[in-house]
Amino acid sequence: MLRVHSEASLFIGSAYAVLLQIAHPGVARGVYDHSDFASRPLHRLRGTLYYVYGTSFGTDEERARVQAIVRALHRKVRGPGYDALDPELLLWVAATLFHTWTRMYELTVRRLEPDEAAALLTEASVYATALGLPAQDWPATPEGFDAYWRRAVTRLEVGGPALEISRQLFRPHNRLLWPLTRAQRFLAGGFLPPDLREAFRIPWSARHQRWFDRLMRAVRALYPHLPNALRTLPGRLYLRSMRRNGGWTRPPRRRRAVT
């Protein structure tokens, strides 16, 4: 198994993947109606990574547990015009993960060989099929995925819900997180195609592009030489946390209502 998912460098594409996901109107509406990035951004990230790392590197029991939890959560996310278990939405969200992981890995580590890309594509299918996507709906080859991706991105549309989610994502209530979210906004701006970057109202200029290019050159030069223990540290920490919490995050303490 290619350990692409364990690389810490994948985190630089976190906001990029989220913005791609919510650029799909159905995904944006479901997230807008059922999530709160502003007040609990780290909780949201933790839950996503428990699912990713638990599915990728957990035991059979852990994998089954986190997948069952996510399926149960998704069953509640439905409303006018969207259903989180809609195969189209499952396919798009999982596709953004595969696309982002491949792009970040090749940017920071090395190019994937064709057989490696095909193996990673097969591995990535589980993030959708475990939630209900029919296996035959997942692209069978990298060429098939590329064709699907080209079609899918033409249907993206950044509407009001997506803009509000991005505002919450980059301006959470906890101001201590703002330096991190500003950095993620800048990185997402560099990775997004110009039309989506403009639609999400991310400021960009020739100077931004120069800074982004210099940063990426530095990352490409330095990251592959980091110790493997450091490059895989986030995944090991999240797995440890997942196991300590019995497979998921502890439920948040309820706040007393203000009257």
Taking the domains of the chain in order of start, what are their residue ranges? 4-83+97-113+156-244
For 133, how many CA atoms within 13 A lie in the half-sphere containing its CB?
A: 23
Lowest mean pLDDT segment, chosen from 12-16, 34-38, 208-212: 34-38
User: Does residue 252 have a pLDDT over 50?
Assistant: no
**pLDDT tens-digit series, residues 41-70:** 777 788 888 999 999 999 999 999 999 999
For 257, how many CA atoms within 13 A lie in the half-sphere containing its CB?
A: 1
- Of 205, 188, 206, 92, nearest in space to 139 by CA: 92
On whether the pTM is more than 0.85, the answer is yes
**pLDDT tens-digit series, residues 142-190:** 999 999 999 999 999 999 999 999 999 999 988 999 999 999 999 999 9
Q: Which residue has the higher pLDDT, 251 or 115?
A: 115
The three-state secondary structure class of 82 is strand
Residue with tokens 């589980």: 126
- Of 93, 112, 104, 111, nearest in space to 52 by CA: 93
For 99, how many CA atoms within 13 A lie in the half-sphere containing its CB?
A: 25
Model confidence at 256, pLDDT cuts 50, 70, 90, reads very low
